[in-house]
Structure 1
Amino acid sequence: MALETSSDSPAPVRQIANAISGWIDRLGAIWVEGQIAQVSRRPGVQTVFMTLRDSVADISVPLTCSRTLFDSLNPPLVEGASVVVHAKPSYYANRGSLSLSVRSIRMVGLGELLARLERRRQLLAAEGLFAPELKRSLPFLPGLVGLVTAPNSAAERDVLENARRRWPAVRFKVVYAAMQGQRSATEVLEALDRLERDPEVEVVVVARGGGSVEDLLPFSDEAVIRAVHKMRTPVVSAIGHEPDQPLLDLVADVRASTPTDAAKLVVPDMAEERNGVIWAQQRIRALVLGRIEREQSGLDGLRSRPVLADPRTLLDTRAEEVHGLLERARRTFSHRLDRAADDIDHRRARARALSPLATLQRGYAVVQDAHGHVLTSVASLSAGDPLAVRLADGRVHAVTTTTEATNHTAGGTAGAGDTPQPGAPDA
């Protein structure tokens, strides 16, 4: 119902705003198709604010969506996605703004296709097909390179020409397959199987010169992805250009941004390798020459020493030392012998001085009876007893005729007149 207003009785703003809000609230939920232009998620707010833009005209309308609904979308909603939303118009009277309160969001067209690919990517990634530890390194210089591409395509020319320009001796085994269309996935599978069964093929390149998302769908086919995952031969994915990334790029061992880049990754550059070899030779030569110069300098230093200039100098010096030590040893040994001989003479003289034979040599004699007992007194003798007189050079046998005792002083010593004469005992 229209409000009755006039210049004399105008309606206040709040009445108009509430009326508009009431009219819009009576509208039911509608399905709207468009493209997400921007997404705003404010911290602490349970509402996500978006803008839905018409795909043809320059017209847009605000969207509001609960955070729970927005977070439940798989794949996540991003700017630029084409969607169909089920929403109810809502008017915010305080600001006088109109928005659509979203109840459901569905991907359509390209957005739906990308959503399916994203779900497939998530499933295959959960199985571990894209794990980094499964990636194999490419051979430095493969003997035979397998190439899967379309016949007479720009991708084939880019790979072959750039690879042969970098390394003229490189060999290729090209297996043709449809790079788009319904039979593309099947033919690519057959080509990969054929190259996998060839023992001479050391690396496989799958090349295509870009295209739309729909054209690249065969390279996101699950059968193709699993076949590449099972291959023992390293695989290089060269599908499309930098913005394009089918699932084959994720499962391949190496991803090349373009077919030309694939040729650079597969074979080395001969000029660079030649320069590297020349540099290595120069480096090795410099190291060897430096080592030789150091060793030669060391030899020259050794040869300049007196001992090596004239080896006899050291021998002569040592010979003089040996002769000096020998003379010193001789003198020392001779002195020791002389002192030992003198000591022996002294000891001999002392022994001789203490010997009874030396006493006998001074004129004394030892008198023994018939039984060999030494006589010290005449009291034990009588006339006619046999005697043996021991002299320094022999014995004298005698018979006792008479005995005569000798008088001693009170002190027990013989007088001057009583001293017997040596060699003349009483007999």
Structure 2
Amino acid sequence: MALNSSQDSPQPLGRVIGAVKDWVGRLGEVWVDAQVVEIKRRSGATQFMTFRDRMANMSASVTVSTLVLDAVGPLPEGSRVTARIRPRVWDRNTSISFECLELHVAGEGRLLAQLEQLKRKLQAEGLFDEYRKRQIPALPRMIGLVTGRDSDAERDVVTNVGRRWPAAVIRTRYALVQGVNSAESVMTALAALDADPEVDVIILARGGGSLEDLLSFSDEGVVRAVAAARTPVISAIGHERDFPLVDFVADVRASTPTDAAKRVVPDRAVEAAHVAQSLARLRRAIDAQLAREQHLLDTVRSRPVMVDPTSAFVAHFERLDLLRHRLDGAIERRLRSEQSDLRAAVSTIRALSPKRTLERGYAVLVSDEHESIASVSDVAPGDRIHAYLADGELTLDVVEPSTKEQHG
């Protein structure tokens, strides 16, 4: 009911505000389709959001309990939602807002929320940890490729791998890359290549598409199969802006199938250039080393001892002559000294020799048994003795021995 008022009988402002609040409250609860453009989380039981009409340039402030907001799960800004709301007018400043009683993610937003929940679950299990990532071989013997039959992704990988490294060998397993059975088809092809001992690396390749088109590569089974693979896996799904969950568990994430080809094999031209540069550096290093060694050899050869090897012996020869001269002199002096000592010794020996004694008129007496006779008591009458003189020998017969006492 409209309020009656005039200039002479105006209505109190509070009554008018109360009437507006009552009118707004009669709208009751209503389901709306909107886009979340802002979420302001605060500590407490009430959170604040801004809804915008998806068609018109109109927005509204919305309050929501923490319980209702958390029940939605991850809700990125920009998500499309359906919400059960009721309008409220605040008495103090007459502002109008909407209280959200129930909230659901709609369209791609629902898929994004589900994928975010799965992503957090797998991340909590450690499937995205860096330590699980394996090194891609520098030059694989055989490259496994999981892709759609006659797809642009297959042509991009095969063409660019062949252009970069013509000798590369690719073994392809075709799979459904979208649709109801695509996840199972991808897992079957991946398992076949992973069991092949000749395959050193596997590429999962698919061209770009919508979020729904790429859902197979965010399937929990596919993600876990890639994590459990023994062969290193390169994911090349969609375009650079696309991030299916398999990208987080793969050993290498390539932004496109072409990028995967660049990552899996080296560029022959670049490698040839590197080899040529390395050979040039090696030749320069060898030449420099040879030059240093030649300089060192020339320096050694220019030394006087190398020019005339015998020059170093001249001083030694002179010293050797001096030492030889000294030695000869020392030997000569020693010989003279020894000769003098020898002559003196000979003179002494001769003076003391029995022959010298005999020459002075003495004789040496021995018995027939050639025993020396030193006393008259050594012989008896009738004994034959021999007397040795300076010039010969006498044979004597003892008649009678006599002593000094008998003569006295």
TM class, shorter-length: 0.7 to 0.9
Structure 2 counterpart of 1:194? 192
Matches within 5 A, 1:21-32: 21-25=21-25, 27-32=27-32
Of stretches 15-24 and 270-279 in structure 1, the one that deviates more from structure 2 is 15-24
CA contact (8 A) 1:54 1:60 kept: yes
How far apart in 2 are the matches of 1:339 and 1:46? 131
Measured on the aligned residues, the alpha-carbon RMSD in Å equals 3.1
Structure 1 counterpart of 2:87? 89
Structure 1 counterpart of 2:395? none
TM-score (ref. length: structure 2): 0.77
Q: Which runs of 5+ in 1 are unaligned?
A: 353-396, 400-427
How far apart in 1 are the matches of 2:336 and 2:63? 129
How far apart in 1 are the matches of 2:130 and 2:176? 29
Change (3 A) 1:100 1:331: farther
CA contact (8 A) 1:209 1:240 kept: yes
- Deviation of 1:67 after TM superposition, in Å, equals 5.0
Q: Which runs of 5+ in 2 are unaligned?
A: 349-402
- The alignment partner of 2:158 has SS state of helix
1:123 aligns with 2:121: yes
- Deviation of 1:75 after TM superposition, in Å, equals 3.5
Structure 2 counterpart of 1:203? 201
Residue deviations 1:11-51 (CA, integer Å, cap 9, x gap): 35444333323433455443333110122346x77653321
Structure 2 counterpart of 1:60? 59
Matches within 5 A, 1:12-23: 12-23=12-23
TM-score (ref. length: structure 1): 0.74
CA contact (8 A) 2:83 2:101 kept: yes
- The alignment partner of 2:204 has SS state of strand
Match of 2:309 among 299, 311, 325: 311
- Deviation of 1:226 after TM superposition, in Å, equals 1.6
- The alignment partner of 2:294 has SS state of helix
How far apart in 2 are the matches of 1:130 and 1:316? 83
How far apart in 2 are the matches of 1:7 and 1:334? 162
CA contact (8 A) 2:146 2:202 kept: yes
How far apart in 2 are the matches of 1:118 and 1:6? 59
Letter in 2 for 1:64: T
How far apart in 1 are the matches of 2:336 and 2:15? 148
Residue deviations 1:296-351 (CA, integer Å, cap 9, x gap): 1001000000011111111222222333344445557777x59988xx99xx9xxx
How far apart in 1 are the matches of 2:87 and 2:337? 139
Letter in 2 for 1:54: D
Number of residue pairs the alignment of both structures matches: 351
Letter in 2 for 1:51: T
Structure 1 counterpart of 2:396? none
- The alignment partner of 1:294 has SS state of helix
How far apart in 1 are the matches of 2:320 and 2:41? 102
How far apart in 2 are the matches of 1:326 and 1:46? 117
How far apart in 1 are the matches of 2:60 and 2:307? 103
- Deviation of 1:273 after TM superposition, in Å, equals 0.2
CA contact (8 A) 1:83 1:111 kept: yes
Change (3 A) 1:149 1:6: same
Structure 2 counterpart of 1:266? 264
Residue deviations 1:118-152 (CA, integer Å, cap 9, x gap): 12122222222222111111111112211111111
How far apart in 1 are the matches of 2:301 and 2:272? 43
1:178 aligns with 2:184: no
- The alignment partner of 1:242 has SS state of coil
Change (3 A) 1:314 1:23: same
How far apart in 2 are the matches of 1:321 and 1:97? 122
CA contact (8 A) 1:121 1:247 kept: yes
- The alignment partner of 2:173 has SS state of strand
How far apart in 2 are the matches of 1:85 and 1:327? 127
Change (3 A) 1:322 1:45: farther
Of stretches 139-148 and 50-59 in structure 1, the one that deviates more from structure 2 is 50-59
Structure 2 counterpart of 1:3? 3
Change (3 A) 1:332 1:175: same
Letter in 2 for 1:239: I
Match of 1:253 among 241, 251, 254: 251
Letter in 2 for 1:166: R
Matches within 5 A, 1:8-407: 8-25=8-25, 27-41=27-41, 47-66=46-65, 70=69, 72-73=70-71, 75-328=73-326
CA contact (8 A) 2:72 2:105 kept: no
CA contact (8 A) 1:74 1:119 kept: no
Matches within 5 A, 1:406-421: none
How far apart in 2 are the matches of 1:324 and 1:252? 90
**Percent identity of the aligned residues?**
45
CA contact (8 A) 1:49 1:65 kept: yes
- The alignment partner of 1:205 has SS state of strand
How far apart in 2 are the matches of 1:57 and 1:267? 51
CA contact (8 A) 2:208 2:237 kept: yes
Change (3 A) 1:322 1:103: farther
- Deviation of 1:81 after TM superposition, in Å, equals 1.0
- The alignment partner of 1:118 has SS state of helix
How far apart in 1 are the matches of 2:66 and 2:71? 10
How far apart in 1 are the matches of 2:99 and 2:321? 120
